[in-house]
Amino acid sequence: MLFNSYIFIFLFLPATLIVYFLLNNRRLTLASKTWLVFASLFFYGWWNPIYVPLILGSILFNYAIGVTLSGAKNFQSKFILISGIAGNLGLLAYFKYMDFFITNINYLTGGHIRLLQITLPLGISFFTFTQIAYLVDAYRRLAKEYSFLNYFLFVTFFPHLLAGPIIHHQEMMPQFDRLKNKLLNHRNLVHGLLLFFIGLFKKVVIADTLAVWADQGFDHAAVLNLVEAWTVSLSYSLQLYFDFSGYTDMALGSSLMFNIRLPINFNSPYRSSSIQEFWRRWHMTLGRFVRDYVYIPLGGNRVPEMRIIINLFVTFFIIGLWHGAGWTFVCWGLMHGVAIVVQRIWGKLHITLPRFLAWILTFSFVNFSWIFFRARNFDDAVKVVKGMFGINGLGGTEQIPNAFRSLKRFQLALKHWLGNIDGDGQTLTFIIVCLILSIYFRNSNYMEERFSPNWKNACILGALSLYAMLNLQKASQFIYFNF
């Protein structure tokens, strides 16, 4: 089920909330948790019930491994942990990477092994990573809660199930059991609504508008001129941010209505003035996961310099591959790996760039790297890159003298310049406004923290929610559902 659908907003969410708090009010806490688990499975199965047994199997397997780990002796536990992780990665490999693997084998050997063409189960990357983290925590004796229902709820809790944030066992379990969290909290309800509708607005009003130009440019246009290529790349960079951070806001908001606070995932990443800072602000829970469960176990910063560099590459290779089964994703991950290494070496030179210049460099790099992330293949990526370097022309130089005579003429010229991507006179204005919003405006977490219940905010929230809900019709999927 999509957060940005009428069925979720008007039926699923209110019904789940009402029944959950009614059961808690009658002190039926076990029933309320069970209800939340069933509601979450219903939410998951709405898209395709065929994958419900898959998530159930994954939960049972990991729970069994977790419990075994808790009672195992040191020498046994390492083996159990490795088996558990291998089981999870095997599941992920089969459903997500098998066709990629076969394609590469066919390419290298000239063979014709048939592709399995398996539909990627929703959220598999997220629930697999969440559970790997749980197993490692159990191995480290950090996961102390072993109630099956609690574990079930921890994995399936619908706000984070499909596209994160990636959560930790120890940050969720105490919240599920805290007594005061079982009562309807009007403050959390209001703050949750605020976050939810900010997220919905980001998704349906901003991201879906930008998607038109990005999709047209990447998937349909045969060539792109300079203006079009920059419009396409910026549209996608902004679409991805508003889409994914919008989703996260909705996840955090709906979870908060149940008095459960999920970890934040975005902190105005496009303000970053270095790649390292970018990764501290972008998809923060994934960054935390790879730091804690990949980079540090590989040795972290406490190994020789060359090893650190290799570890960084391995980490970003995994990040790239996690996002999708394709070489374009690997390329994107490695680009970030290179950037981090360059930044590390630069840091040792003790030369500080002016902040604005550092920001320009960082944003340009991130924007450029998203091209490889978005493109279906390298040809599409090269098409956009060529356009950005003006190889296919500037986009109507013959119109330039006339274009600046009046605003109307300029808008007409823009329509002509952006013809291949369905752009018009408003496109660039929209992109500039979105860029300003993503860089200079307070982000949703800040707004939520400092929210005060007054007339003005009631009007703003009313207008925001109404406008967002009226734009729901398109009901497009979130980009991160594909990962």
Question: Could you give the residue numbers annotated as active site?
Answer: 323
Tokens of 303: 């190994």
Give the C-alpha distances (Å, rounded to integers) separating 307 from 280, 287, 312.
22, 20, 8
Question: At its nearest, how many Å lie between other proteins and the CB of residue 469?
Answer: 9
CA separation for the pair 254, 5 (Å, rounded): 14
CA separation for the pair 469, 482 (Å, rounded): 24
Question: At its nearest, how many Å lie between other proteins and the CB of residue 462?
Answer: 4
Contacts of residue 206, defined as CB under 8 A and 6 or more positions apart, other chains included, come to 238, 239, 242, 246, 434, 437
User: With respect to other proteins, which residue has the nearer C-beta, 106 or 185?
Assistant: 185
Question: At its nearest, how many Å lie between other proteins and the CB of residue 256?
Answer: 13
- Closest to 2 (Cα-Cα) out of 276, 254, 347: 254
Residue 269 is given by DSSP the state: G
Question: At its nearest, how many Å lie between other proteins and the CB of residue 422?
Answer: 8
Residue 13 near residue 254, CB atoms below 8 Å? yes
Question: At its nearest, how many Å lie between other proteins and the CB of residue 367?
Answer: 25
Question: At its nearest, how many Å lie between other proteins and the CB of residue 412?
Answer: 12
Residues of this chain that interact with other proteins (CB under 8 A) are: 185-187, 189-190, 193, 212, 216, 220, 419, 453-455, 457-459, 461-463, 465-467, 470-471, 473-474
Residue 214 near residue 232, CB atoms below 8 Å? yes
Q: Where are the alpha helices (DSSP H) in 29-123?
A: 29-45, 52-71, 74-92, 98-109
Residue 436 near residue 242, CB atoms below 8 Å? no
User: With respect to other proteins, which residue has the nearer C-beta, 22 or 461?
Assistant: 461
User: With respect to other proteins, which residue has the nearer C-beta, 124 or 194?
Assistant: 194
Contacts of residue 401, defined as CB under 8 A and 6 or more positions apart, other chains included, come to none
User: With respect to other proteins, which residue has the nearer C-beta, 68 or 181?
Assistant: 181
Contacts of residue 120, defined as CB under 8 A and 6 or more positions apart, other chains included, come to 95, 96, 482
Residue 353 is given by DSSP the state: P
Question: At its nearest, how many Å lie between other proteins and the CB of residue 380?
Answer: 15
Angle at 254 between CA 248 and CA 256, to 5 degrees: 100
Show the 3-state SS of 189-200.
HHHHHHHHHHHH
Residue 69 near residue 138, CB atoms below 8 Å? yes
| 28 torsion bin: left (phi>0), alpha (psi -120 to 50), beta (else) | beta
CA separation for the pair 473, 466 (Å, rounded): 13
Question: At its nearest, how many Å lie between other proteins and the CB of residue 421?
Answer: 11
Residue 443 is given by DSSP the state: P
Question: At its nearest, how many Å lie between other proteins and the CB of residue 54?
Answer: 30
CA separation for the pair 447, 402 (Å, rounded): 44
Q: Show contacts of 395-403: CB within 8 Å, 24+ apart.
A: 395/225, 395/226, 395/227, 395/228, 396/225, 396/227
